[in-house]
């Protein structure tokens, strides 16, 4: 059994997939940045 066939035989455990929705991930990341910036401005930490 080669290394490649050994890794291919393993079952996936629900980790991150390579073919996920990249646009949604990008939008959610920028939304988080905006929310954190608004929180910092509201608390007067900047």
The radius of gyration of the chain's CA atoms, rounded to the nearest angstrom, is 20
Per-residue confidence (pLDDT) for residue 27, from 0 to 100: 93
At 16, give phi and psi (nearest 5°): -65, 140
In whole angstroms, what separates CA 28 from the centre of its chain? 9
pLDDT tens digits, 1-40: 566 655 566 676 766 666 667 888 999 999 999 999 999 9
Per-residue confidence (pLDDT) for residue 22, from 0 to 100: 85
């Amino acid at each position: 059994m080669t290394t490649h066939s050994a890794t291919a035989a393993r079952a996936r455990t629900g980790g991150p997939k390579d073919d996920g929705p990249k646009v949604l991930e990008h939008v959610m990341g920028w939304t988080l940045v905006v929310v954190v910036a608004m929180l910092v401005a509201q608390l007067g930490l900047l």
